[in-house]
Amino acid sequence: MLDLTIAQKTVVTKRISEFLLVSGDGEPLPSYSPGAHIDVMTTAGARSYSLVDWPQDSGNSYRIAVQQEENGDGGSRHMHSLDQGAAISATAPKNDFELIDGTKPVALVAGGIGITPLISMATQMTAQGREFAFHYAGRSADVMAYLDPLRTTFGDRFTPHFDDAKTLNLPALMGGLTNHAVYICGPKGMIDAARDAAENAGIAAGDIHVELFSTGKAESGDRGFEIEVASTGQIIPVAADQTIIEALEAAGLDPLYDCARGDCGICQTAVISGTPDHRDVVLSQTERDSGTVMQICVSRAASDRLVLDL
């Protein structure tokens, strides 16, 4: 864990504040690559925030942006209650959304607060002289973070899209990006639509990279079900307000997982029988339709029991 201090807090929009974090004990901060995040400890538990890099940053601090969610569980409200000088605890940077080296041009597609990790990617590619296009969609200009710095820094490579003017046409956009690697970050609905558009445009699955900028939430109508562990025959109940991961851990198992958002793929598990209720952003539509694999951190069961290859 890292001991950090808020060196500066800046209001970005009515709901978004930026926090510049420095080492609280004077030790050098661990380095990281574009797309990385830190998990900050809040009163509601650990919350993941992507690290934002601009070309002028010195490298001896971390920059994050936090959007306050009025209907959330309190993590973002806790962050917004903090002021300059406050101490926080966070993990060292982790990266489940790595920008892959190569010569292929890149398209960055952000929705809402999902802009943050893509800024770091654009900064690195600018320094490398790598070709990229940067698209940022939001409801209106007043709720979108960093519009002026993005325009100034990335020039004609950056294109904003405003729902109250003209909604971003994802099929048309993806149709023009068939030779690109695509990195998508934002809310789940936007990611699902963008990924579907990319797949339908013929962009290879290996060139589509996503990160979900929210945690999994219970949905109306969620019900309990059972997990059968194929290797032992153990039956584990999963409550309506419980994830599969939580149920497995409560039963004494130690499942492998990381993001708990359904976007890193680490918890992917084979399904031997039963019908998954997919809620991730990792699997392609073909993989979902097969019913043979699922992300157990967020997905649930549409059947009474799932037999998993655990």
What per-residue confidence (pLDDT) applies to 216? Answer: 57
Chain centroid to CA 84: 26
In DSSP terms, 67 is beta-bridged to 16
Tens digit of pLDDT for each residue in 228-279?
999 999 999 999 989 999 999 999 999 988 777 777 788 999 999 999 999 8
Q: Is 80 helix (H, G, I), strand (E, B) or coil?
A: helix
What per-residue confidence (pLDDT) applies to 71? Answer: 67
Amino acid of residue 134:
F
What per-residue confidence (pLDDT) applies to 189? Answer: 87
Q: What are phi and psi of 208, to 5 degrees?
A: -110, 115
What per-residue confidence (pLDDT) applies to 214? Answer: 63
Tell me the CATH number for domain 106-212: 3.40.50.80
Q: Is 79 helix (H, G, I), strand (E, B) or coil?
A: helix
CATH number among 2.60.120.10, 2.40.30.10, 3.90.1150.10, 3.40.50.1450, domain 2-90: 2.40.30.10
In DSSP terms, 133 is beta-bridged to 107
- CA 169, CA 167: separation in Å to the nearest integer? 6
pTM of the model: 0.80
Q: Give me 162's structure tokens.
A: 């405003």
99 and 121 Cβ atoms separated by less than 8 Å: yes
What per-residue confidence (pLDDT) applies to 44? Answer: 85
The fourth-level CATH superfamily of domain 225-308 is Beta-grasp domain (3.10.20.30)
How deeply is 102 buried, as exposed, middle or buried, from its count of CB atoms within 10 A (0-12, 13-18, 19+)? exposed
78 and 42 Cβ atoms separated by less than 8 Å: yes
- CA 203, CA 179: separation in Å to the nearest integer? 7
Strand order through the sheet with 158-162: 158-162, 132-138, 106-111, 181-186, 208-212
Beta strand pairing call for 37-42 and 45-50: antiparallel
Q: Give me 277's structure tokens.
A: 């209720």
Amino acid of residue 55:
P
In DSSP terms, 18 is beta-bridged to 10, 65
Domains 2-90 and 106-212 share a fold: no
**Domain spans, the chain:** 2-90, 106-212, 225-308
One DSSP character per residue, 167-224 reads: ---HHHHHHT-TTSEEEEEE-HHHHHHHHHHHHHTT--GGGEEEEESS-----TT---
Name residues of the chain where pLDDT drops below 50: none
